């Protein structure tokens, strides 16, 4: 009988470590776990955070527009909005520009929750990138922004900026 001792691997296999998709997926899992834990401590989910953040930054908008804006499935959005409304973090009001639809608005309680959630997210993000320098963190943010929104041409990371941030 052959027995295998548990190994504490400190690196990924080369075939995986060379794959952008694999590393992005792993980085997402690490960041998401930390963010979810931080948000859970203030009583909010990541989807609730996305909705509340958008309502605060964009102002009152319809549920359909919010769903489109943050690219959330409309059926999921219904549950998120219902939960935020039940907890008193948002209200639905008739849209004065179109009486057929409702506009979602944050309440003082919702804005206070968002402030606490933003502080928690900042701490979680610092923990996620703790091994990076400030310049590296900024380059990572710019590169991820380009990948997540290929239509954006503002604040593109140049080859020089990437090289400098990585110390090459």
CA nearest to 53, candidates 128, 125, 118: 118
Q: Judge whether 34 and 128 are in contact, CB under 8 Å.
A: yes
In this prediction, residue 155 carries a pLDDT of 44
Q: Is the pLDDT of residue 52 over 60?
A: yes
SS3 of residue 11 by DSSP = coil
Q: Which helix (H) or strand (E) holds 103?
A: strand 98-106
In this prediction, residue 95 carries a pLDDT of 77
Q: How confident is the model at residue 144 (pLDDT cuts 50, 70, 90)?
A: very high
Q: Is the pLDDT of residue 153 over 90?
A: no
Backbone angles phi, psi at 95, to 5 degrees: -75, 120
User: What pTM was estimated for this model as a whole?
Assistant: 0.77
The per-residue pLDDT of the chain, averaged, comes to 87
CATH architecture of 40-128: Orthogonal Bundle (1.10)
């Amino acid at each position: 009988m052959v027995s295998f001792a548990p190994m504490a691997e400190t690196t990924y296999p080369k075939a995986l470590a060379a794959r952008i998709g694999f590393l992005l997926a792993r980085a997402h899992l690490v960041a998401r776990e930390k963010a979810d834990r931080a948000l859970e401590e203030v009583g909010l989910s990541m989807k609730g955070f996305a909705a509340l953040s958008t309502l605060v930054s964009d102002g009152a908008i319809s549920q359909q527009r919010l769903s489109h804006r943050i690219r959330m499935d409309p059926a999921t959005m219904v549950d998120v909005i219902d939960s935020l409304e039940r907890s008193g973090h948002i209200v639905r009001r008739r849209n004065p520009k179109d009486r057929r639809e409702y506009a979602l608005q944050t309440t003082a309680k919702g804005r206070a929750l968002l402030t606490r959630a933003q502080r928690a997210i900042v701490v979680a993000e610092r923990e996620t990138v703790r091994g990076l320098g400030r310049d590296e963190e900024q380059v990572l943010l710019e590169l991820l922004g380009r990948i997540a929104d290929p239509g954006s041409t503002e604040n593109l990371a140049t080859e020089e900026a990437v090289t400098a941030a990585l110390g090459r």
